[in-house]
Amino acid sequence: MEVWLRMIRVGLIGYGTVGSGVYERLHRAKELENILGDHIEVKAILVKDRQKQRATQTEVNVTTDWEQFCLTADYDVIFEMIGGVEPAYSYTTYWLKKGVPVFTANKKLVAEKGKELENIASQANTYYGYEASVAGGIPIVNILKATLSTTTISRVFGILNGTTNYILTEMTKHNRSLTEALTDAEQKGYAESDPSDDLDGYDSWYKIRILSRLCFGDWSTSLQFSRKGISDIEDWHVEIGNKFGFSIKLIAEAYRHVNTTVGGVYPAFLCQSEQLNYVNGVTNGVFIEGEHVGQLLFIGPGAGKEATANSMVEDFQFHHRIVKWERSFSSTVLHEHPYKHLLVCLTHEEREHALDWVKETGCEVLDTFTHHEGEGWIIPLRNQMEVPFPFYPIYGDVSLRKRVKELYSAQFGSI
């Protein structure tokens, strides 16, 4: 006969893909119960639409009424999975002020309101968990909170969106157009019906701001981090990168520079020497760069019902046993850009203008490739450089690139 010390009463806010995954995970949580020594029971689920099929298949109280949800039980823990800032912020604030811990997969809410919510949780002597808000099944948040809590970190960067990584992988590996790759991603369920958050870089932008807080201590403002998605990538830009042996990825990164934290999200080309070059499909990869650890790479599923739900439940289990976490936020300042070269893409009509720009600025052109729609030039990055043409950062050692064409020495001069 099993004897439980107490019952953990759970409330779920949201019952979409992730919400149903959390319910299923808790519903068969015998191993988790054995670890905690407590019985777990989902008491109520708050949904927006009571008529949805998935919401009617549970054995617990499912309601669209906030007051009814609040009165159903004295909850010990809340899982929030509805997305967006409101009403998620109001719901979360309500429970944290009552001293009830809240766990979320809502990256937008955490990025925009995380500072306020952490302060509320601290004042109420409870906690706000957001492991599942970044990189799906990779436990990167609690690695930074606990395992690397005294490690000095200089930079965090990676691939944080599975949808765009799948699209760019298809464009690079299978020579598909962006439109074709997006359609395929939608058919396979990797992209939402409205994929703008992914394509415009917002999803990765929220996530890198969260990782920045965990690595460097401060919650960044939206003005500190630039954002550029993949919507404007021309197919021929990718083809030119391929000719040099580069792969295009949507990179998110943050690092300390002077007295502030800076970073952003943008498409970039990766040399074959870069390990993220081999993170393909819907997989995510996160690099942590530190003074004593060098580079640590974490790879895993970036989204999905089971992976994200598992992260939420593991987050709860982690905090249930370790209520307080402390992290040393010492960091190393980077004095140079993480990348040193750019791939500039220009149309044939822009070529004369580009040649004039090279002569005026004294910019070096290290290599070129001519495409039927334009040209690609590899140039070194210089301080305060303003490039009047579409360009992409290049990560890695460009000397290892494929040599595709002799330099235009007569036009560019000796380099």
DSSP 3-state assignment of 64? coil
Q: How far apart are CA 400 and CA 271, in angstroms?
A: 8
Residue 115: CB atoms within 10 A of its CB come to 15
In order, the DSSP letters of 253-275 are EEEEETTEEEEEEEEEEE-TT-G
Q: Which residues pair with 272 in a beta bridge?
A: none
Determine how β-strand 260-270 pairs with β-strand 102-104.
unpaired
DSSP 3-state assignment of 380? strand
Q: How far apart are CA 407 and CA 364, in angstroms?
A: 11
Handedness of CA 233, 239, 243, 247 (dihedral sign): positive
Q: How far apart are CA 277 and CA 326, in angstroms?
A: 34
In order, the DSSP letters of 85-135 are STTHHHHHHHHHHTT--EEE--HHHHHHHHHHHHHHHHHTT--EE-GGGSS
Identity of the residue numbered 292: H
Does 207 qualify as catalytic in the annotation? yes
Task: Report the candidate in 297, 154, 326, 172 with the shortest Cα–Cα distance to residue 246.
Answer: 172
Which residue in the list 107, 113, 207, 249 is annotated as catalytic?
A: 207
Q: So which residues are the catalytic ones? A: 207
